[in-house]
Amino acid sequence: MAAHLADERFDAAVSSDLIRARSTAERIVRGNPALAVEPDARWREMKFGGWEGLTWPQIAERFPSVAAAPNAGGKFHTPPDGESFEAVCLRVAAAVASLRERFPDGGTVLVATHAGALHALLRVALGTEAADALGVRFEPATVTRLRLLPGSAELVEVNVAPKAVPHQS
């Protein structure tokens, strides 16, 4: 990922405060000593509570009321001791608002985060219908680019995998 983004110029780098995202962001900006990664809990993954580590079929098996509901999927249910998707959207919206305030004339910001926060970002930036219509399943270690415009946003690319780079010793 760092090699794939080596030619990018970032005005800021933020990440989830969870180590996996933070260490990824730190590796990406390592060549720019003037740019420190800013951990921000608002970019954390959705708290899955009692669903943590389970696949959707396992959740449906262990929680039959969820499987029987008209809307199946994590976006429509709150896990026991977990967080609703709407709560994730609210915290991601607050993080996006902070970035818009910080860069009112635009900027390029690296955000290293998780799939749940990315789904929330699409909903916050593009609206519910547009985000749901995309049906995106985010893959690990891919690049998704979003251009925030005044009052709207444009999805530039989704799930772009880094090109293989020869190992350098």
Query: pLDDT of 33-59, one tens digit each?
Result: 889 999 999 999 999 899 899 888 898
Question: H or E element: which one contains 56?
Answer: helix 56-62
Residue 149: per-residue pLDDT: 83
* CB count in 10 Å sphere of residue 144: 18
Give the model's confidence band at 71: pLDDT under 50 very low, under 70 low, under 90 confident, else very high: low
| Whole-structure pTM value | 0.87
φ and ψ at 112, to 5 degrees? -100, 115
Residue 60: per-residue pLDDT: 85
φ and ψ at 32, to 5 degrees? -120, 90
Tokens at 135, concatenated: 């049906």
Helix (H, G, I), strand (E, B) or coil at 80: coil
